[in-house]
Amino acid sequence: MSLALVSLFARRVATPGALVLIAFAAWLTSDATSAWWFSIAIIALIATVRAAALPDAWLRGEGDWIGTAPRPRAALLRAAWIGAALGTLVLAAAATAAIALKGAWIESETEALLEPSSIGGPKRSLVLMPGESFEQSFGSDEGWGREVRVRATATLGATAPTTLALVEAGNAAHRINVARRTWLSIHLEPYASSVRVTNVGEGALAILGPFPVEVWAPSSALLRGHVRVWAHASCFLVALVSLALLLGIVMGPGVAALLACSLWLGTWLLVSPAEFGTLGDWLPGGGSLGRALDAIHVGRSPLPPSMKSLASAGALLVATWLLGSPLLRTWRDEVRG
């Protein structure tokens, strides 16, 4: 594999103009979560179109010198895929740097950052009538600074009675008035290993599934979790760009980029409904990216991407690369040229 060729393709995806645009947009956006959403959308747009334009350039004439190189076609295609992926990672890194720098510049936060250490509970929502309790156990830990939270909401009756929840964990307890969808949270003492929620009000209380109980522990994530969001975003973007590159072999770059995004969106709509729980996590850019951005939104660190998310992105990259070789029958397309 030629590193120079990989570098050329990476430069075509991560052009200086695109880097400046992404850094500028990330810097200008009001908060970190919005900056991430905005950056991911811009990178997806730029990188997919540019990746899909790589084979288009080959078929319009560039293949005349690439195709005569004494290298197997699969090796040349692999260079293109790796180059496009590298360029995408660089674009996402530019966004990460801009967002993290802006955060450090404005907020200068010093409090400990939390990250999810376990997520559990029932898959389906359940309703607690006055006097009823819900209890969920989780792993104990000797450290300080942990927090548990339970997703809940008030269920409105005809008279809209007051809903009051008593949250207990270890020796700690406190009451929370529930008027809408909210997190019932409480700090955990060392060795606390369960949380109990009791409906002590007059109205019904719903514990919202799937997996409503989250335990958060102090995090040592780099750049207040932004590096982990970069990993989530990169996993999604590399998969999308890989698909666009494959489609670019058989259609124009604009249509290929649009179709790649549409295919991803269709898959996301299929696997994202709540009843599937974390089933959609295998989809790069699916539920796990959403949770990562939610975590950033509440000033916490997300978990790194799951192995299944990384594996599916890698599998998509390899599959599209393997399919690309037979699809690219020639290095020249007279119909396009």
Partner 1 sequence: MHSTSVSVHQLFRSFRTGLWLSQKTEALTNVSMEVPAGATLGLVGPNGSGKSTLLRLLAGVDRPTSGSIRLFGEPPTEVSVKQRLSFLPDGQPFPPELKAVDALHLIASLKGLTRADRRTRVPAMLERVGLGARGGTRLGAFSRGMHRRFGLGQAFIAEPDIVLLDEPTAGLDAPGFDVLNDVLQEARQREATVILASHVASDLVDHCTRLALLAGGRLLREGTPDELLGEAGTVELRVRGRDSAALETALRGAAEDAGGEVLTVRSARRSLIDLYASTKTPGATDDEGDKR
Answer for which of 20, 45, 64, 157 binds partner 1 (CB under 8 A) is 64
Answer for which of 17, 70, 131, 139 binds partner 1 (CB under 8 A) is 70
Alpha-carbon span 277 to 288, nearest angstrom: 11
Residue 10's contacts (CB-CB under 8 Å, 6 or more residues apart) are 83, 84, 86, 87, 90
Residue 256 Cβ, how far from partner 1 at the closest point, in Å?
18
- In whole angstroms, what separates CA 250 from the centre of its chain? 29
Residue with tokens 């690309």: 324
Please give the size of the binding site for partner 1, defined by CB under 8 A. 25
Segment 130-189, which members bind partner 1 (CB under 8 A)? none
Q: For residue 242, which amino acid is it?
A: S
Residue with tokens 């973007």: 237
Select the span of 48-56, 70-78, 89-97, 226-234 touching partner 1 (CB under 8 A).
70-78
The reply to whether 112 sits near partner 1 by the rule CB under 8 A is no
277-316 footprint of partner 1 as x/- string (CB under 8 A): ----------------------------------------
Q: For residue 330, which amino acid is it?
A: T
Answer for which of 63, 103, 248, 304 binds partner 1 (CB under 8 A) is 63
Alpha-carbon span 192 to 127, nearest angstrom: 25
Nearest to 120 by CA among 195, 171, 204: 195
The reply to whether 327 sits near partner 1 by the rule CB under 8 A is no
Distance between first and last Cα of the chain: 27
Residue 69 Cβ, how far from partner 1 at the closest point, in Å?
4
> Which strand (E) or helix (H) includes residue 18?
helix 16-28
Residue with tokens 């288009």: 56
Nearest to 274 by CA among 122, 134, 148, 149: 122
Its sign, for the CA torsion 136, 139, 140, 145, is negative
The reply to whether 67 sits near partner 1 by the rule CB under 8 A is yes
Segment 43-62, which members bind partner 1 (CB under 8 A)? 60-62
Answer for which of 24, 72, 127, 270 binds partner 1 (CB under 8 A) is 72
Q: Are 209 and 121 in contact (CB under 8 A)?
A: yes
* Closer residue to partner 1 (CB): 3 or 104: 3
Answer for which of 45, 69, 127, 315 binds partner 1 (CB under 8 A) is 69
Residue 60 Cβ, how far from partner 1 at the closest point, in Å?
8
Segment 183-242, which members bind partner 1 (CB under 8 A)? none
Q: Are 12 and 79 in contact (CB under 8 A)?
A: no
The reply to whether 17 sits near partner 1 by the rule CB under 8 A is no
* Closer residue to partner 1 (CB): 68 or 171: 68
Q: Which residues bind partner 1 (CB under 8 A)?
A: 2, 4-5, 8, 11-12, 60-72, 329-332, 334-335
